[in-house]
Amino acid sequence: MDYVYRLLRPEENYANGIKAKNPNSPTSVFRHVLDGSYYRSTSRYISTCGSLHALREFAQKSRSPGHVIKIQIDALPDDVEIIDLRDYHERMEYIENTDDEDEIRKFNNFANKFEEVLLSGYIPASCIQRV
């Protein structure tokens, strides 16, 4: 079984399943990773980390950390999109046309350091366990 890990926002209740802040948002993968929740952005993506170690690194930067959960990837419904940004070549597909080298570097650093795996779709409670 493969798992990804998530630090819940204070208002999230994993017993009800998890959904993105705005499932219909046009926010791109590139923008989601760059802006995350720092700019109060809403996105159709749910950020997760590929390991508990990466999640703990991320949690140290969080202003209001909630519970830690793990999501069983192979149990997700077929309509949940999985974007695994741990893979460099996959990550390169989502870089937007920009001449801003700092944004590209930041995107790569965040995705790599926190082993970012994005999910898009509703994550049922049956796929989630508290850690």
The domain limits of the chain are: 3-130
pLDDT at 6 over 90: yes
Task: For CA atoms 29, 74, 52, 126, give the dihedral sign.
Answer: positive
Q: Which residue has the higher pLDDT, 64 or 96?
A: 96
Dihedral sign, CA of 110, 115, 121, 122? Answer: negative
pLDDT at res. 15? 94
pLDDT greater at residue 64 or residue 106: 106
Burial letters 38-77, b for 16+ CB under 10 A, else e: eeeeebbbbbbbbeeebbeebeeeeeeebebbbbebeebe
pLDDT given for residue 61 in this prediction = 77
Residue 21 has a pLDDT of 85
Residues 73-88: tens digit of each pLDDT: 999 999 999 999 999 9
pLDDT tens string 9-62: 888 899 999 998 888 999 899 999 988 755 566 889 999 999 999 999 888 877
* Structure letter (DSSP) for residue 18: B
What phi and psi values does residue 70 have, to the nearest 5 degrees? -120, 145
Kind of pairing between the strands at 3-7 and 68-72: antiparallel
Q: 70 pLDDT exceeds 60? A: yes
Q: Per residue in 93-122, pLDDT tens?
A: 999 888 889 999 999 999 999 999 999 999
